[in-house]
Amino acid sequence: MFELKATDLAGRIGLLTTKSGTIETPALLPVIHPSKQEIPPSLIKEIGFNAVITNAYLAFKNKGEEARNNGIHKTIEFDGIIMTDSGGYQVLEYGDINVNVKSIALFQEKILSDIAVILDKPTGAQLDRDYAERSVELTLKAAKETLAVVTNKEILWTGPIQGGVHLDLIERSAKETSNLNFDIHALGSPTEIMQSYDFKKLTDMIITAKKHTPSNKPMHLFGAGHPLTIPLAVALGCDLFDSASYILYGREGRYLTDYGTKKLKDMSYLNCVCPICCSLSLKEFISLEKETRSFQLGVHNLYVLIKTVNDCKEAIREGRLWEYIGIKAKAHPRLWEAYKNFSENIEFLEDGVPIFKSKGLFLSDIVDNSRPEVLRHKMKMKNNIRFRKCKLLLLPETMVKPFYKSRIYSNLKKELGSIIDQIQICFLAHPFGIIPIELSDIYPLSQYEKALKPDSDSNLDQDMVDDIVSIIYKNKISEVFIWIEGGYTQRLGEAVSKKIEINIVSSIEELRNKL
């Protein structure tokens, strides 16, 4: 069972119930080697991971007898939730004739995995279309074969989606896998894409998989264990991750930070406060004997990864996932590229954005002009709002919010008396566009913070002009007044006046004379 607790963008906090307990998602499952694990699973649990993943094929090869007799929990000495990956990669690599789809499925049942994965055929980053197509077909065939032989209803089965970089194949794979009613879906093997930091491609792959699978099932992303990849994937709706990065990086002397990896030997300061980094100086850390250093680095890396996951969850809870991804995105140009292109998928991302949030929006960059909350208001103005009055007064936005509490509005009310009731009053607020005074206290129209002088954005200006003109036509407005106070409103007023007849005013006197 998978129950959603909170959402923001396509990201969600959920509870996934397995036979060994419940995991709160998003969750990262550290990879445990069934026979050569360097960091004890008990320590991994202590750090805060209550679910891990291990490789069914390697367990079968190295600990087959023990796992069959005692179960996987005892074999790898972990009493939390255990997912087993089928080991598709390894089987391919070694071309083992002793295992097949059926035997790997039954083995996972026998060892009592909590979450199991069918023996799939990963596409990888293969550009060859025929190869990719074949991997989709073989994976679907294996999915059907697996579901036909397994009987333990308590085990959650994962159906991997293949297709590599071919989005139409991902779509087909996702649709057909969804028909098989798996408990969990997974996007297969985008490892090379992630390693090359092609975040834009990764975004397209995840969104394609997500759009064509049921939203009430968790989505696992194979092989994502980097502090930049996880937040992006969370925002796009991935719920589960697995990675061996903590120990692989550890062996290579690589130290994870919130924004990427560094070579320990190149660092000047330890910038982490995990128990490892608090107990060692950088010099001591570097001069540790290789094996110990790899262990300690592995533990440190796990602390960074759990922090990343918790930061994502906190951002979802606060409704600040957009802001959080924006901060992360600045750490790598290609992540920024993917983030900047979120606007191409705004309908997909908007779905999980709550109508009301406990915190206001931070509008810091031109990118924020197309965030879902802003576009949602614009769509509402375009499709749902109709004015009853035929005179329209557009006022510049004020620091005081909601706008009906502003001085300009109370002065107008005082000076114009009942005349004001015949005029539809709206504010021009960057980047929302037109805000009718009646809506000005509705979230987020008075709950946002932005630069005192926002960056000028010609696209946004053009949108605003088009919106004003379209609203004037749609609402059969006969007279329009724009109150100019220089800068932004000046620019808009002049642009609108080129398209349509309007009255530019800048004082109550002027307005009264023209009314």
Q: Which residues are catalytic?
A: 85
**Which residue, 63 or 300, has its beta carbon nearer to Zn ion?**
300
**Which residue, 281 or 410, has its beta carbon nearer to Zn ion?**
281
Contact 243, 227 (CB under 8 A): no
Structure tokens at 448: 């946002």
Shortest gap between Cβ of 287 and Zn ion (angstroms)? 17
DSSP per position, 132-180:
HHHHHHHHHHHHHHHHHH---TTSEEEEEE--TT-HHHHHHHHHHHHTT
Binding Zn ion (rule: CB under 5 A), the pick from 32, 272, 297, 312 is 272
**Which residue, 82 or 272, has its beta carbon nearer to Zn ion?**
272
CA 419 to each of CA 2, 387, 440: distance values in angstroms, whole numbers, following the listed order = 57, 17, 21
Site string for Zn ion, 459-488 (x = CB under 5 A): ------------------------------
Gap between the Cα atoms of 440 and 185, Å rounded: 42
Of the candidates 424, 428, 430, the one whose C-alpha atom is nearest the C-alpha of residue 412 is 424
Q: Long-range contact list for 105-108, CB < 8 A, 24+ apart?
A: 105/145, 105/146, 105/149, 105/150, 106/149, 106/150, 107/56, 107/59, 107/60, 107/64, 107/67, 107/68, 108/56, 108/84, 108/155
Task: Find the part of the chain contacting Zn ion (CB under 5 A) among 101-109, 273-281, 284-292, 462-470.
Answer: 273-281
Task: Find the part of the chain contacting Zn ion (CB under 5 A) among 143-151, 269-277, 331-339, 381-389.
Answer: 269-277
Shortest gap between Cβ of 251 and Zn ion (angstroms)? 17
Gap between the Cα atoms of 217 and 270, Å rounded: 40
Task: Find the part of the chain contacting Zn ion (CB under 5 A) among 76-84, 258-266, 268-276, 382-390.
Answer: 268-276
Shortest gap between Cβ of 240 and Zn ion (angstroms)? 24
**Which residue, 160 or 298, has its beta carbon nearer to Zn ion?**
298
Contact 162, 143 (CB under 8 A): no
Task: Find the part of the chain contacting Zn ion (CB under 5 A) among 90-98, 274-282, 310-318, 445-453.
Answer: 274-282
What single DSSP character describes residue 359? S
Contact 403, 397 (CB under 8 A): yes
Shortest gap between Cβ of 257 and Zn ion (angstroms)? 9
Gap between the Cα atoms of 81 and 231, Å rounded: 23
Shortest gap between Cβ of 311 and Zn ion (angstroms)? 15
Contact 295, 250 (CB under 8 A): yes
**Which residue, 269 or 356, has its beta carbon nearer to Zn ion?**
269
Q: Which helix (H) or strand (E) holds 323?
A: helix 321-329
Task: Find the part of the chain contacting Zn ion (CB under 5 A) among 85-93, 266-274, 309-317, 342-350.
Answer: 266-274
**Which residue, 221 or 230, has its beta carbon nearer to Zn ion?**
230
Gap between the Cα atoms of 248 and 490, Å rounded: 58
Gap between the Cα atoms of 158 and 337, Å rounded: 31
264 is a contact residue toward Zn ion (CB under 5 A): no
Binding Zn ion (rule: CB under 5 A), the pick from 277, 375, 426, 445 is 277
Count of residues of this chain found to bind Zn ion when the rule CB under 5 A is applied: 5
420 is a contact residue toward Zn ion (CB under 5 A): no
Structure tokens at 342: 């979120």
> Which parts of 281-320 interact with Zn ion (CB under 5 A)?
300
Shortest gap between Cβ of 276 and Zn ion (angstroms)? 5
Shortest gap between Cβ of 330 and Zn ion (angstroms)? 22
**Which residue, 209 or 277, has its beta carbon nearer to Zn ion?**
277
274 is a contact residue toward Zn ion (CB under 5 A): yes
**Which residue, 43 or 451, has its beta carbon nearer to Zn ion?**
43
Shortest gap between Cβ of 306 and Zn ion (angstroms)? 11
Of the candidates 11, 10, 107, 27, the one whose C-alpha atom is nearest the C-alpha of residue 63 is 107
Q: Which helix (H) or strand (E) holds 186?
A: strand 184-187
Binding site for Zn ion (CB under 5 A): 272, 274, 276-277, 300
